[in-house]
Structure 1
Amino acid sequence: MVGEPTPGRTNTAADEAQQPILAAPAEPTEAPAKAVPPIAAPSTAAEPSASASPSPSSAAPAPVVQVSTVTERATIRHGERTVKDSSLTEGKRVVRTKGANGIRTLTYEVTTTDGVQTGKKLVKSTVTKQPVTQVVAIGTKKAQSSRCDPNYTPCVPIASDVDCAGGSGNGPAYVSGVVKVIGIDIYDLDRDNDGYGCD
């Protein structure tokens, strides 16, 4: 029949367009977006909690505290005592008893932390050696002025004139026995100039 379409063919524009669309593959950008979900970023909320409670191995070690006993010695200074002595010339000092220092033993409790001393407490104090007081004698005897002439020995009195006892001299002072002239023979006792007077 004239004007009827050929069986099995379609001449419409819609039928011709459908064949290439059905045969065409899907757009390459759409398939990955739908098939592969986005990878979630790792959560950072768990990290602080993990570091907040450190393992026992990473914790700071406990300080090492040690207590020990230490003994020290201290010197006890001796004192001094003075006594008067009338047999000594006034102002003269003589040590009668020599002084000696004593010793005191001190016991301490010492605390150290990590090798550094952090405490020291005295727990005992004992005198292990008593000090000896020094005794000094001070003379009180009044010094007597010399009454002997320094030019002679033994003593020849100091006077306006001295003669040998038993001689012809008239004094006023006299000397008995032989005397040695050690200076100037001011009393003319050594008449023969042998160094001795009244011989």
Structure 2
Amino acid sequence: MKSFILASGSPRRKELLQQARYTFSIQTSDIDEIVEPHLTPSEVVCELARQKAEAVAKTNQDAVVLGSDTIVVCNDQILGKPKDQNEAREMLQRLSDRDHSVLTGVAISEKGETITFFEETVVHFYPLTSEEIEQYLQTGEPFDKAGSYGIQGFGAYLVQSISGDYNNVVGLPLAKTMRELQAFHIYPTIQ
């Protein structure tokens, strides 16, 4: 059986792969997450995912390595993880009562070869009052998530609708990833 490594410290990506019955280890990369400013949002997530996967693959020559990165895009502006409570508040105010896109880039690397792809899901937030935003900030959820929210937790309260892959919003387009992993002979354990 091939060694399969998740190049991410995200507990959500770990949970998704575990739910899908994969056997894998985790090794995070220490890349600086620098991309060219002219790249589109989909190119940004694919490039960051590629950098993460290839950084881990360099020291694990015989493994299949999965890297991933998620961003939120609202009005053509990329919203990453907030630096502090004020930035989280501003992001949530910006997302209130409007559509935004969640893009996750995925890279799978083995023996110097890497494939990348991305998935986009459109999310629409309810109109949020300042009290609702403050309540959500008090949960602590916004601070390690792109766009300052997590759909799988208390943040579900903010989301009116989605169009696309729910798991993509959580942090990994699981169905597409599973299909792509087959080309690398990485399969779930079904017993």
Normalised-by-shorter TM-score class: under 0.3
Q: What TM-score results when the alignment is normalised by the length of structure 2?
A: 0.18
More strand by share: 1
More helix by share: 2
Relative contact order: is structure 1 or structure 2 higher (C-alpha 8 Å, sep ≥ 6)?
A: 2
